[in-house]
Amino acid sequence: MHSVLPRDPSAESHQALEQANALSREGRLEAALELYGRAASGAPQWHLPHFNAGILLLRLGRDEEAMLALLRSVDRKPDCWKSQFNLALLYLRHGRFAEGWRRYDWRFQAGGHPAVRTGRQQPLWDGRRLDGETVLLCAEQGLGDVIQFLRFAPAVQSRGARLLLECPAPLRTLVEDLPFLAGTVDPTETCNEAHYQFPLMSVPRLLAERFEPSPLPFPYLKAPPPTAGSAHPLLALGDRKIGIVWTGDPDNPFNPIRSCRPEDFHPLTRIPKTRLYSLQYQDGGISPEALSGKGIASLGSALGDFAQTAALLHELDLVITVDTALAHLAGALGRETWLLLSSPCDWRWSVEGSTTPWYPNLRLFRQERSGDWAELFERVARALAHGDDVSR
């Protein structure tokens, strides 16, 4: 953990904090917690021991204690954006949406996450009622986040706005005909016709207590209609067809935690009349021949933009994926999807249960022990062998 130590704590508190940080890096977490407590006792107004303890408690899965520690940090230093933002994620993970969305804007205090787009001249919309003025909703974070938070865009339209969406190129064809959008804008383009701009992932804050996971009719995305000869020849076989994804964006810092390996799917290849197909972009750098040796057929060459991928999903009986943009795509299309979650998992999948209000067609499989994909895939294989919930 990187920290700037205030001047007022005693030397003993400084020493206790640094020793706790060292123990935390060594994995001696309980001993580190004890020393964070000692540092806090010696400097009652110092926020940092409480913040560090809160982050450590999150690692231990002790969310209630983590929340209390982070609240103590905020009480002592209200402008500590890391404490505020981690509290937002905790509240959201536990379904306390109104509290979570109010704090979620603290992400803009981190470097690289401005509330107002650099180079765009429009002021930030403040949520007031509009009379046909145009609001540019700015895409944030990953492609999956754009898909997930599109459901909230009509809340802006309902306040009298005409909507444009700043949309990354891979999503444009898929979303450009949505009835509540007047058009899409590339993130690199100027947009002189907009009167205001607003971050897409801040729209739920405007809803406050009226938050609903899916204000739009579900499913809210549609694949383009099939054209003659568009079906992939590998999908002509009559077996149960399952598309799989084992890793996400390599630039995402959490990707190593949430990703598995193609060989982890091996128990599924032994199930009769079941065929696995890679939906991994460019097959994750693995050759089609190597995938075939693992019992997986390659569809990597057929994956184009998200509209093309959406059409491909409609030829499959089931999608089994780790937490990536494709999970959101399949979810928003209403395709039968099994989501494989690491421990810990992202805030949007809550802390327990096999269903999610975000996408009623998703079934969640959670790691029982952090990093243990083998046990999770045994449960997935048993569910597949019994034919659980796999139907068009």
Residue 343 pairs with which residues in a beta bridge? none
**CA within 13 Å, CB half, 230:** 17
d(CA 331, CA 314): 12
Same domain, 97 and 161: no
CATH number of residue 74's parent domain: 1.25.40.10
d(CA 14, CA 8): 10
Same domain, 153 and 84: no
Number of domains comprising the chain: 3
**199 and 138 Cβ atoms separated by less than 8 Å:** yes
Q: Tell me, what's the pLDDT at 112?
A: 54
CATH number of residue 278's parent domain: 3.40.50.2000
Q: pLDDT tens across 109-147, in order?
A: 876 556 666 667 889 999 999 999 999 999 988 899 999
Same domain, 237 and 379: yes
Asked if the structure places residue 123 within a domain, the reply is no
Return all residues near 44 (Cβ < 8 A) that are at least 6 apart: none
Asked if the structure places residue 41 within a domain, the reply is yes
Same domain, 171 and 52: no
Same domain, 260 and 380: yes
Same domain, 205 and 238: no
Same domain, 179 and 311: no
Q: Tell me, what's the pLDDT at 12?
A: 85
Q: Tell me, what's the pLDDT at 228?
A: 47
**CA within 13 Å, CB half, 391:** 4
Q: Tell me, what's the pLDDT at 4?
A: 43
Asked if the structure places residue 193 within a domain, the reply is yes
d(CA 246, CA 268): 13
Same domain, 138 and 105: no
Structural domain boundaries enclosing 341: 233-385
Amino acid occupying residue 88: A
Asked if the structure places residue 360 within a domain, the reply is yes
Q: Tell me, what's the pLDDT at 42?
A: 87
Same domain, 256 and 194: no
pTM over cut 0.75? yes
**166 and 138 Cβ atoms separated by less than 8 Å:** yes
Same domain, 196 and 265: no
Same domain, 246 and 362: yes
Q: Tell me, what's the pLDDT at 2?
A: 38
Q: Give the CA distances from residue 100 to residues 54, 115, 170, 360, in Å, rounded to whole numbers and listed in that order.
A: 17, 17, 30, 22
Which residues of the chain carry a pLDDT beneath 50? 1-7, 228, 390-392
Count the Cβ atoms, other than its own, within 10 Å of residue 117: 17
Asked if the structure places residue 124 within a domain, the reply is no
Q: pLDDT tens across 311-354, in order?
A: 999 989 999 999 999 999 999 999 999 999 999 899 999 999 99
Asked if the structure places residue 224 within a domain, the reply is no
Asked if the structure places residue 199 within a domain, the reply is yes
Sheet containing 196-199: give its strands across. 183-185, 162-166, 134-138, 196-199
Our CA angle for 307, 311, 313, nearest 5°, is: 115
Same domain, 309 and 201: no
Structure-block tokens of residue 346: 């992202």
**326 and 277 Cβ atoms separated by less than 8 Å:** no
Q: Which of 65, 94, 109 is the last residue of a domain?
A: 109
Asked if the structure places residue 336 within a domain, the reply is yes
Secondary structure of the chain as H, E, C letters: CCCCCCCCCCHHHHHHHHHHHHHHHCCCHHHHHHHHHHHHHHCCCCCHHHHHHHHHHHHCCCHHHHHHHHHHHHHHCCCCHHHHHHHHHHHHHCCCHHHHHHHHHHHHHCCCCCCCCCCCCCCECCCCCCCCCEEEEECCCCHHHHHHHHHHHHHHHCCCCEEEEECCHHHHHHHCCCCCCCEEECCCCCCCCCCEEEEHHHHHHHHHHHCCCCCCCCCCCCCCCCCCCCCCHHHHCCCEEEEEECCCCCCCCCHHHHCCCHHHHHHHHCCCCEEEEECCHHHHHCCHHHHHHCCEEECHHHCCCHHHHHHHHCCCCEEEEECCHHHHHHHHHCCCEEEEECCCCCHHHCCCCCCCCCCCCEEEEECCCCCCHHHHHHHHHHHHHCCCCCCC
What length does the chain have?
A: 392
